[in-house]
Amino acid sequence: MRKIYSCIDIGTDTVRILVSEYFQGKLNTLAVSSVKTKGVTSGEVTNEVELTERIKLAIKDIYSRININIKKILLIMPSINAEFNLVHGNVPIVSDDKMVTEKDIIRVQNSIITDIMPNMELVNVSPIDFTLYENGSEIETVKNPKNKICDRLGIRAMLATIPKRNLIPYVKAVEAAGLEVVDLLLAPVCDYEEVKEEEFDDKTIGIINIGKQTTTVSVFNKGIITNSSLLKMGSKVIDDDISYIYYTSKKTSKKIKENFGVASKRYANKNETFETKDINDKVISINQYEVSNIINKRLVELLNIAKNELKVLTNKQISYIMVLGGIVDIPAMNTVVEDIFKEKGKIYSMNTLGIRRARFITVSGSLKCFIKKIKLRGKEYSMLNNDDIENLVQSKSKMGKSESIIGRFVGYFFDN
């Protein structure tokens, strides 16, 4: 079975769809689309019709690249008003040999999701560990209980829920675009899955994801999300400052920030200038040192606010703080992060072929989350049927023979 998965990340600025093949233990990009978002403000849907049209545009873009209409999708949800609850449950092992199977793991996970408030929707279950019992006594605690022998299986897990009023407009817009939502994923959990290093699962980690209008601050303890909050401040404030000072359009100010600015003025060139036009069509000259000073002041303010929010979210000692979001692609961003967080601060650089920019961290992580989930349940799954995969292969067969589908897409990888 060709294991092909697709996901959608609906941000305030951009709708992103990623389609990848899981082959020989690695995710390989088949197609990715980014279109400007409409109908979403500060992480909440304000116009379902406009959002649906943008999703359809992204689906059409995917079709133009791989000649298939995707029908199933993973939906990534922001953590607005998310609640996190530590829960316990246990179930008897009913098989004659008392060996734990995937069905038992599913049963014990299902046993803990019965007490969710009617106004909330489950978006993430993070198993912390499983406990094996024999004759009423605890005999072992493990991360993966499969094939273990016991007469009762217990679980300790963190449940993440979000208000249904936040979720329903997203689902309606996605379904109106012709997609079936296969699973829901929480954005910070996807971020962690993408950026985690081996030692992270034994430490307390902070993740700061800077979006356009909002910044998500999350805490993970030994690989499990324990808290998250949304700050209503993002990289747009930098665009607004540049626009106000130089009297440029917001589109132009964003271009200046991304293509000319430097995050730390220490690395800016006082003699380098950029010519553009203001809103009155007058040619103006912008100095790199001056505009980088504007960028730096806002970044320092934003990161300090996020730093204080981490203190609110946990009283544990944080070992590392990962800073994510499209803004980290700006030159010298790592310097600013180190200035604020010292040796704890790190930025993450994407190195996956086809999605090598920071804006794709969440969508890439979402596929890894889903694969991890179905592996624990012992499932084989693909979002494309055999006919879809046949169309996928035939549409690019002129590119040459290969043992893997992915070999036929070499010429279609690109960075956005």
Mean pLDDT, residues 261-288: 93
SS3 165: helix
Q: Is the pLDDT of residue 389 over 80?
A: no
Whether 384 shows a pLDDT value over 90: the answer reads no
DSSP annotation of 114 reads: S
Digit-coded pLDDT (tens) for 159-206: 999 999 999 999 999 999 999 999 999 999 999 999 999 899 899 999
Contact 278, 267 (CB under 8 A): no
**Taking 50 as the threshold, does the pLDDT of residue 411 lie above it?**
no
Q: What is the largest CA-CA distance in the chain?
A: 83
Question: What dihedral angle (degrees, nearest 10) is formed by the CA atoms of 83, 89, 94, 95?
Answer: 70
Provide the Cα torsion 374, 379, 382, 383; round to 10°. Answer: -60
Predicted confidence (pLDDT) per residue in 314-341, tens digit: 999 999 999 999 899 999 999 999 999 9
Degrees to nearest 5, angle at CA 88 with 84 and 93: 140
pLDDT for res 224: 95
Query: Strand pairing of 44-45 and 40-41?
Result: antiparallel
> What's the pLDDT tens digit per position in 61-79?
999 999 888 999 999 999 9
Contact 196, 78 (CB under 8 A): no
Please give the Cα distance from 16 to 32 (Å, whole number): 7
Q: ∠ at Cα 323 (162, 236), nearest 5°?
A: 75
Domains in the chain: ranges and CATH: 83-163 (3.30.1490.110)
Q: Whole-angstrom Cα distance, residue 375 to residue 370?
A: 9
Residue 376 pLDDT greater than 70, yes or no: yes
